[in-house]
Amino acid sequence: MSDSKTNQQDNGNGYVKTTPENVKEAHEGLFHATMNLPAAAAHCGMTLKQMKLTFWEYLKYHDQNFEVPENSSSLSWGEESCPD
């Protein structure tokens, strides 16, 4: 079996069927950082490349659900946030 198909196996019992519900769960898991990319791809029976492409489309059409406060300060590279 090729390496590109290893993410599509469901514990050796067969293949996971890709359904819109599985893809939605995987995208939401990636968006809210409750799944990593390999787990999300395996969850809905996709390869990593397929998951990356569909998640990129998901991000294009879904708004962010957080706000960055205006008074947040940015740190330059290598600067500590709480110096001793």
pTM confidence score: 0.64
Alpha carbons 26 and 29: distance in angstroms, whole number: 5
The 10s digit of each residue's pLDDT in 31-75 is 999 999 999 999 999 999 999 999 999 999 988 777 766 766 666
Neighbours of 50 (CB within 10 A): 17
The two structure tokens encoding residue 41 = 């791809």
Q: How confident is the model at residue 16 (pLDDT cuts 50, 70, 90)?
A: confident
Average pLDDT rounded to a whole number, residues 6-32: 79
